[in-house]
Amino acid sequence: MATSNEIQQSYIKAAETIKNAILSAQYEAARGVNNIQLMLYYSVGRFISHYSRKAQWGTAAIATISHLLSHDMPGLRGFSEANIKKMRTFYEEWRELDAQTPEAKSLIQTSDLPEINSLIQMNEIQILPFNFPSTDAFPGNDFRSIGFTHHTNILIGTKSRQERMFYISLCAREHLTPDGIKNCIRQNLYAQRGELPNNFLQKLPSGSLAKRAILAFKDQYMLDFINVEELGARDIEEVNETVVEQKIVDNIKQFILRFGKDFLFVGNQYTLNVHGHEHRIDLLFFNRELDCLVAIELKTGPFKQIYLGELNGYLRLLDDFVRKPHENPSIGIVLCKSADKSYVEYMIQDYDKPMGVATYKTATDMPERLRKALPDQEELLKIIGSELNNNNK
């Protein structure tokens, strides 16, 4: 077992190694490269995580190292005991982004190295680019562009990977302050937005508009005024889309009440003639809050990638030939019976127009016992009217 002197030497060596990494990175950081600072903090976090979690450092290790750094580098900021612990958390929570060499990784994965031998390895901290995954829509540029304090606030206030990525992109696009992103997390904006797969943050011109658009749409709508059985079918896919569309038009007030506030109905089968070609948009609305046209493509079956290309073309035509100069870019929603959200989120990033994909349920999708328990619309209105009259007496 290592002596107290050997442990103290280990702390001194650790502080010296971190100091060298700081000096190496400060040159680049002075040029305003936030990414370099993040890479430094991540690398220090990796270093501290290994030696504090897997080696034989005592409970006072990080406090001692912080004190030694401040003594050796007067005026150094950001390497308090609390901040170094945050760097460790930053690394551990984003361990998937580690781009270390196989040799360095093998060292990190070795948990039984004697501490005295570990001193030999404690010579350098590798500051490497983040290894962003190429298999999903990871917001790498957004990740690099926000500060360490922003990242810390996001890690403290969120639970899931998707939630973190949402706030990272929101923070980058809207240029939020650290307190600003904390406020968004307190407001639980991620949950309020529903889980509508969309590309609003990437494709709308401002973070503020994207934020409002996220709140304007749900991921699923209950169209309980559509009864498949009454339409003579066993399943919604057996029903012609024009029939479902007409049911929506016939019940447009109810549809808008379920869809959200500030929507104005422009028309269905909205026709655009461009270069001798006719295009028809299933449902067209205007949203006063967003100050933009909203095109809805209605589908009775599951989501298909081809729907995005079709809707992207409609949005281009609306922006070029219908949108007023003062209005924001048009937004499109594919409204279909079912959708794999992960697949939609992956595919939607390649399109240049702001779009989302939502699903809907009809009255037939409700459990039979619940349908039977609910009064029909006329009876419900009578009940509400009766209650209001009683309350006014």
DSSP, res 285:
E
**What pLDDT shows up at residue 212?**
87
Average pLDDT over residues 39-51: 92
Helix spans in the chain (H): 4-29, 34-53, 61-72, 81-93, 102-108, 115-121, 140-145, 148-157, 161-174, 178-186, 189-192, 200-203, 207-216, 241-250, 252-259, 306-321, 341-348, 368-373, 377-392
pLDDT of 359: 94
What average pLDDT does this structure show over 289-293? 96
Backbone angles phi, psi at 272, to 5 degrees: -125, 125
pLDDT band at 210 (very low <50, low <70, confident <90, very high): confident
R_g of the chain computed on alpha carbons: 28
pLDDT of residue 31: 46
Buried b (16+ CB within 10 A) or exposed e, 225-252: bbebeebebeebeebeeeebbebbeebe
Res 146 pLDDT > 70: yes
**CB neighbour list of residue 119: distance below 8 Å, 6 or more residues apart:** 6, 9, 10, 13
Q: Is the pLDDT of residue 238 over 50?
A: yes
pLDDT of residue 393: 53
Q: Identify the top-confidence range among 204-208, 341-345, 363-367.
A: 341-345
Q: How far apart are the first and last CA of the chain?
A: 85
Q: At 336, is the pLDDT very low, low, confident or very high (cuts 50, 70, 90)?
A: very high
64, 11 in Cβ contact below 8 A?
A: yes
Percent over 90 (pLDDT), the chain: 45
Mean residue pLDDT of the chain comes to 83
**Residue 326's pLDDT band (boundaries 50, 70, 90)?**
very high
Residues 6+ away with beta carbon under 8 Å from 16:
72
Structure tokens at 213: 């658009």
CA–CA separation, 149 and 116 (whole Å): 35
Q: Residue 386: what pLDDT?
A: 58
Q: Quick check: 294 pLDDT over 80?
A: yes
% of the chain beyond a pLDDT of 70: 82
For residue 284, pLDDT over 50 is answered with: yes
Domain(s) of CATH 3.40.1350.10: residues in the chain: 212-371
pLDDT band of residue 194 (cuts 50, 70, 90) is low
Per-residue confidence band for 27, with pLDDT thresholds at 50, 70 and 90: low
In whole angstroms, how far apart are CA 339 and each of 126, 214, 237?
Answer: 43, 18, 14
Q: For 321, what's the count of Cα atoms within 13 Å in the CB-facing half-sphere?
A: 13
What is the β-pairing status of strands 263-274 and 277-287? antiparallel
d(CA 212, CA 210): 5
Cα 10 to Cα 15: distance, rounded to the nearest angstrom = 9
pTM: 0.55
Least Cα distance to 44 among 25, 30, 60 occurs for 25
Residue with tokens 């923070």: 171
Alpha carbons 379 and 279: distance in angstroms, whole number: 41
Q: Decide the pairing of beta strands 263-274 and 355-362.
A: unpaired
Q: Summarize the confidence of residues 148-176 as an average pLDDT.
A: 90
Query: Positive or negative, the Cα torsion across 360, 362, 368, 370?
Result: positive
**What is the fold, at CATH topology level, of the domain defined by 212-371?**
Trna Endonuclease; Chain: A, domain 1 (3.40.1350)
Pair of tokens at residue 248? 């929506």
Q: How many CB atoms lie within 10 A of CB 383?
A: 11
Q: According to the model, what pLDDT value does residue 13 have?
A: 86
